[in-house]
Amino acid sequence: MTPHRVAVLAVDQVVGLDLGTPAQVFSTARDAADAHFYTVDTCTPGGRPVRSTAGFRVLPDHGLELLEQADTVIVPGVHGDATLRPDVIPAEVTGALRAAYDRGARIMSICTGAFVLATAGLLDGRRATTHWAYADRFRRLHPRVDLDPEVLFVADDRVLTSAGVAAGIDLCLHVVRTDHGSEVANQAARRCVMPPWRDGGQAQYIERPVPQAPDTSTATAREWARQRLHEPVSLRDLAGQARMSVRTFTRRFRAETGLSPAQWLLHERTDHARLLLESTDLTVEQIARRSGFGTTAALRQQLHLRIGVAPSVYRRTFRRTPESADTR
């Protein structure tokens, strides 16, 4: 197996955390023999050092020629002039990005890296996102982009953008899941000590008040529901597990997760169905029941809405044999 080649393109004033995110996430995606699915390398214009926002300089191993061989190109977040004046992004950078896209590479940005993609013209007419705090500035500089600052990440064909900081991890895990299925992505998330899945449509900015006491959180109700995905679970049931009124529970649930209880439960059931399709020989009808959808039609509809394919197609794409399942 030839690993998928990921190139991380750093420009001046690169955000330090964003720079390290792709290597950290993609290096944890491995097969049963511990072979890596991805290789990750970093480049800069001319292979020259660039400044980071974290008080250190980046000394890369490659110049922009790395983008000529990459299967995926990722631009981490940037601060400073790059988010104020598009003309500070070197023409050699924007040209290399456009050339990579034109030859079929997947192009991604983390946080304010979207400013670089927009300067290259790769986001014109596309839906995209960036850090919510930069939304107004982004719209002024790049009015031809359909900016959605409310979500964690956006996948528009081969161009993917994410919000700030941790949302870059969410996007990388989404790519691993798209490329290799839920089981590989979940294990990568576990190695990173990260939640396995936050949906791209989840809100960026979520109020998370510090609980006054253990019983003010909805976490117990969420875990209770996860153990009963195959059963009918009502909003009243969930509120009862949290010992709250329905109104209070709904408000706190959304504050903690960014989703309504119904949306969250639907996502959990869909993710459980995906895992069963990958890792078991159960029929689609059995998986629909065990995931709480009841009918194959309901499962098929939801899977198509979330990832655009039927259950049988998803299984053929991501089915792993017992010999290949990594249980570590």
pLDDT digits (tens, 9 = 90+) for 241-294: 999 999 999 999 988 887 899 999 998 999 899 889 988 999 999 999 999 999
Average pLDDT over residues 74-94: 93
CA-only gyration radius of the chain, Å: 21
Q: What is the DSSP string of 145-191?
A: SEE-TTBSEEEETTEEEE-STHHHHHHHHHHHHHHH-HHHHHHHHHH
Instruction: Dump pLDDT digits (tens) for 158-214.
Output: 999 999 878 999 999 999 999 998 889 888 988 887 766 565 555 565 444 444 444
Instruction: Dump pLDDT digits (tens) for 2-60.
Output: 999 999 999 999 999 999 999 999 999 999 889 999 999 999 999 999 999 999 999 99
Instruction: Dump pLDDT digits (tens) for 14-29.
Output: 999 999 999 999 999 9
What share of the chain in percent tops pLDDT 70? Answer: 91
Cα distances from 224 to residues 41, 165, 196, 207, in angstroms, run 42, 30, 18, 23
Tally Cβ neighbours within 10 Å of residue 49. Answer: 14
Residue with tokens 């670089």: 116
Structure tokens at 210: 């510090």
- Model confidence at 119, in pLDDT bands (50, 70, 90)? very high
Average pLDDT over residues 296-313: 89
Helix, strand, coil percent content, the chain, rounded in steps of 5: 50, 15, 40
How far apart are the C-alpha atoms of 122 and 101, rounded to whole Å?
A: 8
**Which residues 6+ apart lie within 8 Å of 281 measured at CB?**
none
What share of the chain in percent tops pLDDT 90? Answer: 70
Instruction: Dump pLDDT digits (tens) for 152-168.
Output: 899 999 999 999 878 99
**Which residues 6+ apart lie within 8 Å of 159 measured at CB?**
101, 106, 107, 108, 117, 122, 123, 126, 128
Tally Cβ neighbours within 10 Å of residue 131. Answer: 23
pLDDT at 140 over 70: yes
